[in-house]
Amino acid sequence: MNIQGHATKLFALGALLALSMGHAKAQQANALPGLSPTAPIGTALQPVNAGHIRASQVLGIPTSYCGHVINLLMTNRMRQSFGNAGNVAAPAYAPYLRAGQSPGDLQLLCVHLVCDGDAAKGPVFQISLKNNSNVPIGNFRISVVGVLGRIHMHSPTATITVPRMEAGCETQMQVQLPVTCMSLGISGQLVPFDTLIVAVDSFDEWLECDELNNVQILKRAEIPLLVVATVAPPVAAETVPVQPAPEAAVPSTPQEKAPSPLDNIDLDDLVPDEAEKAGFLIR
């Protein structure tokens, strides 16, 4: 009886293991073809998780859970202690790698505040990241956690999925924290969060060359505001009408020539001496 019970348990365990391996192979086969491109840089961005945030606010059901971020922080502390040498030994799901390819790197570049939160909505942050790999990477997750003092399992958290990033590409995505991040603490002394934790590949699913550049811990007051450059419309140059030059006045009748002293001298009646005297007098 005991032998049959053990055999049944072993058979069930083997079936479960085979099912898990088949599911992993299916994920590996469909990892890249099923990815959809992200929005190009420069387009108008919206919080990726806006629908989920609105649903949780309407239902009044807290859905925040950041245990995976706590695990990532603890793992990174160990990696930092060992000089980030534990990356190769750590088990990771890397279906994008072929034989002979080295692991790539996802890098969290910077975080900007798009709009602050209030009693009705949580703040929106824009996250800039880069794929330093030689191959496209997709289906990884980004988590943003609002913390007051110390992080705990149910700190207000927002998690989004990045469907695809091309090799060497930079992209920006906007994430909105739950409104609960604006009222933390004990009853009667509720205050907003004071620290923001941002984690790329927050579930630590991808094998990377540098795992420590995936996390940033920022003071809320030090997060820069996103400045959107606006181009002023061209101003039309004012056209000054050209005034025509005034025309010179033309006399209606030609002016008579002014009289000359020579007009009173009759040259035919003068002898040479008198002509010279007359010319001398005129001169």
- Summarize pLDDT for 78-106 with one digit per residue, the tens: 888 877 544 444 444 455 555 455 678 89
Q: Can you tell me the distance from the alpha carbon of 95 to that of 31, in angstroms, rounded to the nearest whole number?
A: 7
3-state secondary structure of 142: strand
Q: Which residue has the tokens 């002979």?
A: 100
SS3 for 162? strand
As to burial, measured by CB atoms within 10 angstroms (0-12 exposed, 13-18 middle, 19+ buried), residue 232 is: exposed
Residue 37 domain boundaries = 33-96+110-222
**Amino acid identity for residue 226 in this structure:** L
Looking at residue 160, what is its pLDDT? 93
Residue 3 lies inside a defined structural domain of this protein: no
pLDDT of residue 43: 40
Residue 258 lies in a domain: no
Query: For the chain, what is the mean pLDDT?
Result: 73
Does 91 or 257 have the greater pLDDT score? 257
The answer to whether residue 154 is domain-embedded is yes
Residues in Cβ contact with 279 at an 8 Å cutoff, skipping those fewer than 6 apart = none
Lowest mean pLDDT among 133-147, 172-186, 225-239: 225-239
Q: What is the pLDDT of residue 171?
A: 94
2 part of a folded domain: no
Q: What is the pTM of this model?
A: 0.59
Task: Give me the phi and psi of 118, to 5 degrees please.
Answer: -145, -160
Judged against a pLDDT cut of 80, whether residue 190 lies above it is answered with yes
Query: Is the pLDDT reported for residue 121 higher than 80?
Result: yes
Residue 156 domain flag: yes
**pLDDT tens, 33-60?**
333 444 443 344 556 556 655 555 555 5
- On whether residue 186 sits in a domain, the answer given is yes
Q: Mean of the pLDDT values across residues 147-165? A: 92
Percent of the chain with pLDDT over 90: 35
Q: How confident is the model at residue 188 (pLDDT cuts 50, 70, 90)?
A: confident
72: domain CATH number is 2.60.40.10
pLDDT at position 276 is 55
Q: How many domains does the chain have?
A: 1
Alpha-carbon gap, residue 120 to 124, rounded angstroms: 13
**What Å distances lie between residue 168 and 28, 37, 116, 130, CA to CA?**
22, 14, 31, 7
Grouping H, G, I as helix, E, B as strand and the rest as coil, residue 199 is strand
Cβ–Cβ < 8 Å for 113, 226: yes
Closest by CA position to 116, among listed 217, 227, 225 = 225
Q: Is residue 230 part of a domain?
A: no
Q: Report the pLDDT value the prediction gives residue 211, as an integer from 0 to 100.
A: 87
pLDDT at 66: 87
Asked if residue 242 belongs to a domain, the reply is no
**25-29, 66-70, 198-202, 240-244: the lowest-pLDDT one:** 25-29
